[in-house]
Amino acid sequence: MIRLSRGILLAATCALAPAPAWAAAPFKPDVFIAATGGTIAGAQANVEQHGYTAGELGVASLIAAVPQLTDIANVTGEQVMNIPSQDMDDAAWLTLAKRLETLERSDAVTGIVVTHGTDTMEETSFFVALTVDTPKPIVFTGAMRPATAIGADGPANLYDAVAVAGSTLTRACGTVVVFNDQIHSARYVYKTDTTRPDAFTSVDRGPVGAVDTGHPVVFDGCAGSAFRQPMVPIAGISALPKVDILYAYAGMGRDLIDHAVLAGAKGIVMAGVGDGNVTEAALAGLRDASAKGVVVVRSTRVVAGFTMRNAEVDDDKDRFVASAELKPSKARILLKLALLKPSSLAEIQADFDTW
Ligand code: SIN
């Protein structure tokens, strides 16, 4: 009897009292999705053929395709642009980076996901990493198969990207690419397959973490992934200088180099053979370009490895810069930013050795 009354009293008390702290709804981070297009937003006319158009679906469709996102985050989104990433250019980078900088400063945002085409993700993510202050993670993701494909990879990548953006574990990671269960630093990642879902590789270092169905793991606290501050803060950038990439091959002449200089390039990134080497004819063209004030950076067409200063080429004598770890696509971004400030060649070399 007593027991019963006590039980009734306890039950009544519980029904009237406010929910105790331990019973509160689990914390959900506020993740903002900035959509830019790409295959993740692509649609096919026929799911049994590989042809499709990138950048067809809007951000609302991407979010609606993964209802489980609401289990792990409060998700909002915005269509910043809707293009295939092969059409990314300086103007698009400036628009996106400025928007991301504003989102970084918003109290209503815990972390940011950028959906983006895979073709130039290695470039846009590196540009953002070098120009946007990232106390909160910025997570690039996309898809190799269009949204309508049998076995589309976009929904799983988006789910993982939202989990990574909302996680406290990834706070120190800066700008990353989340793809096919891996977390890659924007500093080290390159697209290394034309069509397969495991399209991204951090060729010289490996990924900085992994993510398993929305559960991120970060290796060594993401050491070395993020920059302590932006190289050139985006607020101060209104335009970027013209920098071209030229691809070396056996028997290369100097005509493409001369043409780049005539067309107004302020910098040339040479995707050299091996350790950034070129033919004698091309070397003469690069020396003349350098003498005219064009900054020449020697990089490599090889997938992995560093381009070393003063190895087979006398960079000191020829006034060249060696790209160190950066492959041509990222070396071009760094050179564009380095050229925004008056710098000696030694200072630009130091930028390549640092960033
Ligand atoms: C693109 O980069 O926009 C097309 C290819 C892709 O997203 O995978």
Residues 190 and 261 in one domain: no
Residues 93 and 53 in one domain: yes
Residues 52 and 201 in one domain: yes
Write down which residue in 163, 191, 225 finishes a domain. 225
Residues 188 and 149 in one domain: yes
Residues 172 and 277 in one domain: no
Q: Please give the single-letter amino acid code of residue 305.
A: G
The answer to whether residue 170 sits within a structural domain is yes
Mean pLDDT over 167-181 rounds to 96
Neighbours of 196 (CB within 10 A): 11
Write down which residue in 195, 225, 255 finishes a domain. 225
The answer to whether residue 21 sits within a structural domain is no
Residues 209 and 119 in one domain: yes
| Statement: residue 91 has pLDDT above 50 | yes
CB of 230 closer than 6 angstroms to any ligand 1 atom? no
CB of 54 closer than 6 angstroms to any ligand 1 atom? yes
Per the CB < 8 A criterion, the answer to whether 321 and 344 are in contact is: no
CB of 85 closer than 6 angstroms to any ligand 1 atom? yes
Average model confidence (pLDDT) across the chain: 92
Residues 305 and 164 in one domain: no
Residues 262 and 327 in one domain: yes
Between the CA of 35 and the centroid of ligand 1 the distance, in Å, is: 13
Q: pTM score, two decimals?
A: 0.92
Residues 50 and 175 in one domain: yes
Residues 247 and 111 in one domain: no
Of ligand 1's atoms, which has the minimum distance to the CA of residue 84? 3
Which two three-digit tokens encode residue 61?
């469709």
Pick the residue whose CA is nearest to atom 7 on ligand 1: 117
Residues 83 and 198 in one domain: yes
What are the pLDDT digits (tens) for 203-231?
999 999 999 999 999 999 998 888 889 99
In Å, how far are 19, 322, 325 from 107, measured between CA atoms? 27, 41, 36
Between the CA of 39 and the centroid of ligand 1 the distance, in Å, is: 5
Write down which residue in 168, 199, 225 finishes a domain. 225
Between the CA of 60 and the centroid of ligand 1 the distance, in Å, is: 19
CB of 38 closer than 6 angstroms to any ligand 1 atom? yes
CB of 92 closer than 6 angstroms to any ligand 1 atom? no
| Statement: residue 74 has pLDDT above 60 | yes
pLDDT of residue 13: 40
Between the CA of 186 and the centroid of ligand 1 the distance, in Å, is: 17
The answer to whether residue 18 sits within a structural domain is no
**Backbone torsions φ then ψ of 302, nearest 5 degrees:** -75, 145
Residues 217 and 76 in one domain: yes
Of ligand 1's atoms, which has the minimum distance to the CA of residue 38? 3
The answer to whether residue 23 sits within a structural domain is no
Residue-number span of the structural domain to which 194 is assigned: 30-225
Active site residue 39: yes
Which two three-digit tokens encode residue 271?
């995707």
pLDDT of residue 2: 34
pLDDT band at 54 (very low <50, low <70, confident <90, very high): confident
Testing ligand 1's pocket by substitution, the residue of 39, 115, 180 carrying the most ligand atoms inside 8 A of its CB is 39
In Å, how far are 99, 196, 284, 298, 300 from 281, measured between CA atoms? 45, 38, 5, 15, 17
Mean pLDDT over 182-191 rounds to 97
The answer to whether residue 346 sits within a structural domain is yes
Q: What is the CATH number of the domain that holds 251?
A: 3.40.50.40
pLDDT band at 23 (very low <50, low <70, confident <90, very high): low
Of ligand 1's atoms, which has the minimum distance to the CA of residue 119? 2
Closest CA to 145 of 196, 75, 184, 108: 196
The answer to whether residue 232 sits within a structural domain is no
The answer to whether residue 261 sits within a structural domain is yes
CB of 154 closer than 6 angstroms to any ligand 1 atom? no
- How many independent structural domains does the chain possess? 2
Q: What is the CATH number of the domain that holds 121?
A: 3.40.50.1170
Pick the residue whose CA is nearest to atom 1 on ligand 1: 117
The answer to whether residue 181 sits within a structural domain is yes
Q: Which of the following is catalytic: 39, 134, 201, 300?
A: 39
Mean pLDDT over 85-107 rounds to 98
